[in-house]
Homo-oligomer: A and B are copies of this chain.
């Protein structure tokens, strides 16, 4: 049985949940109360030495993601996509398809280098600081502006790519596409999606991604309030 030790409030956890649904893998939730730092307990750290969420257990075998930031949950999602190749959405190249493997890794790399470093830092400033009462609890707006400018410089390259093909690495969806979903959605709830809307091919692609059933399921039970803070619906 696949068990996911994480929290539905966490962007990184929801990224794995999305892939679990894409792959039609039944799984059991083990909720880690990370708001109360349960991921820093010695019991948790014995499983994941960096004390981050989530980690995955598959019949006793443990694999963990690393976050923040950026590259979260890559190991977990690739493991799931490779091992469960025969079911759900095809998200991993066949053995011997080296070019497919290169394009998979390239797509993941695009998200991690050119999207996550900006959006996760905006999230930190606008949401995490308030949630954890870091500093004054207020965003450093100069830093937010710096990250938004950095993001825009990358969205131009996304626009070039997505103007000529349906997904980031070709005409077939890949893990790299799916990985954009958590932070793209959070950024929108912060009212920053006017930046996305300036790039029509990018915008249409991310909107299409958000319509996937897997993503809707990953968000079921989670709501996001006006200030962008996710919480569990009662």
Q: Which A residues have a C-beta under 8 Å from some C-beta of B? A: 49-52, 61, 63-72, 74-76, 78-79, 82-83, 95-96, 98-99, 101-103, 105-106, 108-110, 112-114, 117, 154, 157, 160-161
Contact = CB atoms under 8 A, between A and B. Distances in A.
A98 B83 contact: yes
B157 A106 contact: no
Nearest to A73: B109
Nearest to A104: B75
User: Closest 6 CB pairs between A and B?
Assistant: A66-B113, A75-B105, A95-B95, A79-B102, A63-B102, A83-B98
Where chain A touches its partner, the secondary structure class is helix
B79 A112 contact: no
Given A49-B157, A51-B157, A102 B78 contact: yes
A74 B105 contact: yes
B66 A103 contact: no
A68 B113 CA distance: 6
A50 B157 contact: yes
20 contacts: A49-B160, A49-B161, A63-B99, A63-B105, A66-B106, A66-B110, A66-B114, A67-B113, A68-B113, A70-B71, A70-B117, A72-B113, A74-B109, A75-B102, A75-B106, A78-B101, A79-B101, A82-B101, A83-B101, A95-B95
Given A49-B161, A98-B79, A98-B83, A112 B110 contact: no
Contact of A50 (B72, B102, B110): B110
Contacts of A75: 102, 105-106, 108-109
B69 A109 contact: no
Contacts of A78: 101-102, 105
Contacts of A96: 95
A95 B83 CA distance: 10
Given A70-B71, A74-B109, A161-B49, A61 B117 contact: no
Contacts of A103: 63
B50 A114 contact: yes
A155 to B, nearest CB: 11
B161 A70 contact: no
Nearest to A106: B75
Given A49-B157, A63-B106, A157-B49, A71 B101 contact: no
